[in-house]
Amino acid sequence: MAHFSGHQPTMEVPADFKNLFTNGGLGGDDDDSNNNNNNDNNDQENRTNNNNDNEEHEHSCWVFGYGSLCWLPGFTFSKCITGYIRGYVRRFWQGNVTHRGTEQQPGIVATLVEDKEGITWGCAYKLTGETALEYLKERECTLGGYATLETKFYPRIAPHDTPFGGEAVEVLLYIATPANIHWMGEAPLPKIAQLIATSRGPSGHNAEYLLRLALFMHEELDCAWDQHLFELERLVLQELYRMNIPVSAVMGRNPERIRRDSHANLHRPPSFEFTSRIQSTKLRCLNI
């Protein structure tokens, strides 16, 4: 297990250093044309999967992502919708030796902890067939030590063309518990941040996991606030700066962009642009 040193004095991260992460194109040489191609491919994939939805309806399900699944799913899906679940809060309490750490120095990744008043924001993926579920079982359960549960997911924007229709729907959820051998549990945030800033595994640097998750929240769910995640983001950036490690050095390659909430254009705000085409009608006044 990693050894934690004493609490480090508070140190502000220079604005230009943080801007490298929030505004820069980190970790990859993908240009706009590549990103556009990724979007085109994603759109084509979504259309293909949508055509097969009716044929494979009995094999489809929804999976909720709240950690690396938010920005690096690694499987084929037909829809991705942002939203939240209730009764849980996100915490970096789960050790990891297969993706973001090693047996000699475990990394630490997100899990969920029950909280009656808690809300966790993330995204739900619609899966069809068994391939994605088998992949997730290997990634999350066999290698990650997570258990599978079911819970209700509430979409940020209720789509017209899915089972949501403004209502919650059942989703699969992968969650770590104190029973697994990689469980680290609660610790002071500066200690967790120090471990994240110094750990690396086969999938890349531990800091990338946290920073890309925070970036997903900032870009896709700026209406939501996650105190635990955002404070760790600040502390990890501070720790990287203290060690003179450029943020770009820990980010790896930029993942493909994910087309989320593609149904959002169906929810237009009230508009009066067509009122001039409507025949005028006289209203009768009522004496009430």
Residues labelled as active-site residues: 140
Structure tokens at 217: 């929240």
What is residue 278's three-state secondary structure?
Answer: coil
Contact 109, 207 (CB under 8 A): no
Amino acid at 35: N
What is residue 141's three-state secondary structure?
Answer: helix
Q: Any bridge partners for residue 121, and if so which?
A: 84
With CA atoms as reference, report the closest residue to 65 among 52, 55, 74. 74
Q: 3-state SS of 7-71?
A: CCCCCCCCHHHHHHHHCCCCCCCCCHHHHHHHHHHHHHHHHHHHHCCCCCHHHCEEEEECCHHHC
Kind of pairing between the strands at 107-127 and 61-65: antiparallel
Amino acid at 169: V
